[in-house]
Structure formats: structure tokens, C-alpha cells
């Protein structure tokens, strides 16, 4: 049972990290430029926002495969709302409109 969950997590992580979108490529370019001292604050802010979105995507997928997910996910969502933490990625919010 645990092996199946671990496999799902690993497969999900692999899929998310191998998706190459234009915004992800731009994010990586910005971080590369930052290491060279060539990135602006605005570029870095956009890259950090994109990284935040990727991490939100990963967290939603990982939460879905944890044990007792039907119980823990609502508890995590309630905790996040109470502390004004945004868990939902922008693409998901846009799909609800």
C-alpha cells in the first residue's frame, strides 16, 4: 500500500518537473541571470512568483496521495484559510471562473 503511494508521488513529481512551459523556461533563465548578477528585481520577482505556482501545484498533488487525505486535506485548507495562506495555483482559480 505504501509503495503504491510513494510511486504515485514520484511519478507526479517527475511529471511536474519535466513540464517545460515558456514561463518555466523564463524562470530558469532569470535564476541563471541572477547568478551572473544580470537579473533585475522585477525579473526576479516574476521568477519567484512562477516558482511559487510550481510549488503550489506540487503540494496539491502530493496532498492527494497522503494517507487519510479526505480528512487531512480539509484540515490543511482550513488552517491555510485561517492564516491567510493561498494554497491554490492561479490556473486552478482561473478554471473556476
- List pLDDT tens digits, range 28-83: 889 899 999 999 999 999 988 888 887 777 776 666 666 777 777 777 778 888 88
Is the pLDDT at 2 greater than 70, yes or no?
Answer: no
Q: Which residues of 23-38 are buried (b: 16+ CB within 10 A; e: fewer)?
A: ebeebeebbeeeeeee
Secondary structure of 5-74 as H, E, C letters = HHHHHHHHHHHHHHCCCHHHHHHHHHHHHHHHCCCCHHHHHHHHHHHHHHHHHHHHHHHHCCCCHHHHHH
At 78 the pLDDT is 83
At 20 the pLDDT is 65
CA distances from 57 to 38, 41, 63 (A): 29, 24, 10
Name the least confident of 5-14, 17-26, 76-85. Answer: 5-14
Residue 5 confidence class, pLDDT cut points 50, 70, 90: low
At 43 the pLDDT is 92
- Give pTM, 2 decimals: 0.55
Amino acid at each position: 500500500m505504501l509503495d503504491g503511494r510513494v510511486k504515485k508521488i514520484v511519478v507526479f513529481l517527475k511529471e511536474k518537473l519535466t513540464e517545460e512551459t515558456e514561463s518555466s523556461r523564463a524562470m530558469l533563465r532569470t535564476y541563471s541571470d541572477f547568478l551572473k548578477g544580470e537579473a533585475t528585481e522585477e525579473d526576479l520577482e516574476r521568477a519567484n512568483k512562477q516558482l511559487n505556482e510550481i510549488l503550489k501545484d506540487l503540494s496539491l498533488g502530493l496532498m492527494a496521495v497522503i494517507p487519510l487525505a479526505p480528512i487531512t486535506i480539509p484540515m490543511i485548507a482550513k488552517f491555510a484559510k485561517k492564516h491567510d495562506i493561498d494554497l491554490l495555483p492561479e490556473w486552478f482559480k482561473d478554471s473556476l471562473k
